[in-house]
């Protein structure tokens, strides 16, 4: 045991699903934890997503075969991928992301993500029960819809990988799809029902329920804007926008798409791996490159008596349509888009959302869009599509938990459990090496 661990005190920066999960898991091991965010828990990326928790998410976007399909994707961009000029300024990430579309990297990532997804799944269930919020969970899978046999045939590789990992699926004919979802338009030649999947009816509500559990057990939430972090003789300090400095033995950076910006300009004195407090002469800076796979959502009033039982992913339309509820418990439909590659702070371009709405309206009846429901967020993606979960080498007490790309809502709890085990020097529930910071 060293100073950092014996203190059992930590500050977690960022109260999205990942940060709240880290705070809850640390607290469960007896740590005293403060959670800091400029907003209320779950009001950014973790609140705006499609709410799907699925074992099928073990497949990253950068996979073998991506290079072959890239020219067509760029020359004839479909609704699923928009590349804006501002994305090119982030070419170091883009290049590395494409480089990782090789078999070795893909195999390592799928194994690692599958373990993280399964650990998260068990943890979500436990926490939802503890928070008396099981009613937010729907355990009936999700559907991938194919408009023609050739698009279904093109998914062969994906289906083989799902089979290899024993993910429960069923191929549906148009007739059996109609029996399962009678209000879907009869557009689809095939559907794949991913049965090892669930969804939530209110993603922000789930994060808030977990945050309330954290508060109920004595956790502290501080509402402040974080400006910078720095080393401190007894650990770390973070500065807020009002100029205050706060010291802590252990600092967890879990600020989703904003994590790289916080760490980017930061230079640190390397300390030895034994965590003695003697800094070496060497100064390093962080080499983690983050990409921003932006996405949009719009919400609609449902048609009364025309329910959708589970989220659908229309492969050709490249959207996900999820039956959800708003904070008041009223039924709504949330439409989320595919990926838009752009600079994180580039102006929104709503074209992708308009296209997704047109496609979704052809598939499922919905009433008008809800006023002020349009939203944009960024999936925070690292080049190998694996999040970082672990301690910054040479920086005892500085812990990183970000980069969860398309699946941070589902994998936040597993991340929290793994990080809390690492911080407590315990044996870990899953192999942490694929998530190590040292891979950068």
Ligand X SMILES: Cc1cc2nc3c(=O)[nH]c(=O)nc-3n(C[C@H](O)[C@H](O)[C@H](O)COP(=O)(O)OP(=O)(O)OC[C@H]3O[C@@H](n4cnc5c(N)ncnc54)[C@H](O)[C@@H]3O)c2cc1C
Q: Find tokens 């492969």 and name the residue.
A: 315
Nearer to ligand X, 63 or 124 (CB): 124
Which among 93-101, 131-139, 392-400, 408-416 is the span making contact with ligand X, rule CB under 6 A?
408-416
**Which residues, 315 to 354, sit near ligand X by CB under 6 A?**
336
CB of 53 to ligand X, least distance (A): 6
| Distance, CA of 57 to CA of 295 (rounded, Å) | 17
Contact mark string toward ligand X, 264..303, x via CB under 6 A: -------------------------------x-x------
Q: Tell me the sheet residues that pair with 222.
A: 36
| Distance, CA of 247 to CA of 10 (rounded, Å) | 10
CB of 138 to ligand X, least distance (A): 13
Contact mark string toward ligand X, 4..33, x via CB under 6 A: ----------xxxxxx--------------
Beta strands at 398-402 and 9-13: parallel, antiparallel or unpaired: unpaired
Work out the angle at residue 280's Cα, subtended by the Cα atoms of residues 276 and 281, and round it to the nearest 5 degrees: 165
CB of 299 to ligand X, least distance (A): 12
Beta strands at 142-146 and 190-194: parallel, antiparallel or unpaired: antiparallel
Which among 48-56, 77-85, 229-237, 298-306 is the span making contact with ligand X, rule CB under 6 A?
48-56
CB of 40 to ligand X, least distance (A): 8
Tell which one of 258, 268, 292, 319 touches ligand X (CB under 6 A).
258
The separation between CA 186 and the C-alpha centre of its own chain, rounded to angstroms, equals 32
CB of 60 to ligand X, least distance (A): 13
Phi–psi pair at 159, nearest 5 degrees: -65, -35
| Distance, CA of 119 to CA of 356 (rounded, Å) | 32
Nearer to ligand X, 323 or 394 (CB): 323
User: For residue 412, what are its two tokens?
Assistant: 């936040």
List the beta strands (DSSP E) in 286-420.
Answer: 291-302, 312-314, 319-325, 331-337, 339-341, 366-369, 375-381, 388-391, 398-402
CB of 24 to ligand X, least distance (A): 13
Tell which one of 10, 50, 253, 360 touches ligand X (CB under 6 A).
50
Does position 433 interact with ligand X (CB under 6 A)? The reply is: no
**Which residues, 237 to 256, sit near ligand X by CB under 6 A?**
254-256
Which among 34-42, 186-194, 230-238, 356-364 is the span making contact with ligand X, rule CB under 6 A?
34-42
| Distance, CA of 303 to CA of 305 (rounded, Å) | 6
Q: In terms of Cα–Cα distance, which of 31, 103, 18 is closest to 66?
A: 103
Give yes or no for a contact between 432 and 404, defined as CB atoms under 8 angstroms apart. no
Nearer to ligand X, 36 or 131 (CB): 36
CB of 131 to ligand X, least distance (A): 17
Contacts of 216 (CB under 8 A, 6+ apart): none
User: For residue 117, what are its two tokens?
Assistant: 């997804």
Which among 24-32, 170-178, 180-188, 373-381 is the span making contact with ligand X, rule CB under 6 A?
373-381
The separation between CA 252 and the C-alpha centre of its own chain, rounded to angstroms, equals 17
Beta strands at 339-341 and 291-302: parallel, antiparallel or unpaired: antiparallel
Size of the site for ligand X (CB under 6 A): 37
Q: Footprint of ligand X on this chain (CB under 6 A)?
A: 14-19, 37-39, 43-46, 49-52, 225-226, 254-258, 295, 297, 336, 377, 379-380, 402, 404, 406-410
């Amino acid at each position: 045991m060293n100073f950092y661990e014996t203190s059992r005190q930590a500050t977690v920066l960022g109260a999205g699903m990942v940060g709240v999960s880290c705070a809850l898991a640390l607290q469960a091991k007896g740590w005293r934890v403060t959670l800091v965010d400029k907003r209320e828990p779950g009001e950014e990326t973790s609140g705006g997503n499609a709410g799907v928790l699925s074992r099928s998410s073990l497949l990253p976007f950068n996979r073998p075969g991506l290079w072959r399909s890239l020219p067509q994707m760029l020359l004839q961009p479909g609704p699923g991928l928009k590349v804006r000029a501002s994305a090119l300024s982030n070419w170091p990430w883009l290049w590395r992301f494409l480089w990782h579309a090789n078999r070795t990297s893909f195999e390592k990532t799928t194994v690692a993500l599958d373990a993280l997804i399964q650990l998260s799944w068990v943890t979500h269930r436990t926490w939802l029960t503890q928070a008396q919020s099981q009613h937010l969970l729907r355990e009936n899978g999700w559907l991938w819809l194919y408009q023609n046999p050739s698009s279904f045939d093109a998914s062969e590789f994906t289906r083989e990988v799902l089979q290899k990992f024993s993910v429960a699926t069923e191929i549906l004919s148009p007739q059996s799809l109609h029996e399962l979802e009678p209000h879907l338009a009869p557009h689809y030649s095939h559907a794949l029902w991913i049965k090892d999947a669930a969804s939530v009816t209110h993603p922000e509500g789930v994060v808030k329920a977990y945050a309330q559990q954290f508060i109920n057990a004595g956790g502290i939430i501080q509402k402040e804007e974080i400006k910078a972090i720095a080393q401190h003789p007894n650990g770390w300090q973070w500065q807020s926008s009002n100029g205050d400095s706060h010291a802590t033995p252990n600092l967890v950076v879990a600020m989703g798409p904003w994590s790289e910006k916080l760490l980017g300009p930061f230079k640190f004195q390397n300390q030895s791996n034994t965590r003695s407090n003697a800094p070496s002469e060497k100064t390093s800076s962080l080499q983690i490159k983050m990409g921003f796979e932006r996405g949009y959502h719009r919400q609609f009033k449902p048609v009364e008596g025309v329910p959708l039982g589970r989220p659908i992913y229309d492969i050709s339309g490249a959207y996900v349509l999820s039956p959800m509820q708003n904070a008041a418990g009223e039924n709504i439909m949330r439409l989320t888009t595919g990926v838009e590659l752009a600079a994180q702070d580039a102006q929104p371009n709503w074209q992708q959302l308009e296209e997704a709405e047109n496609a979704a309206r052809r598939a499922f009846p919905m009433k008008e869009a809800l006023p002020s429901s349009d939203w944009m967020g960024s999936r925070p993606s690292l080049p190998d599509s694996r999040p970082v979960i672990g301690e910054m080498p040479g920086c005892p007490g500085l812990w990183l938990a970000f980069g969860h790309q398309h699946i941070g809502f589902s994998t936040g709890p597993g991340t929290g459990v793994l990080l809390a085990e690492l911080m407590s020097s315990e044996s870990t529930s899953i192999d942490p090496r694929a998530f190590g910071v040292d891979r950068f």
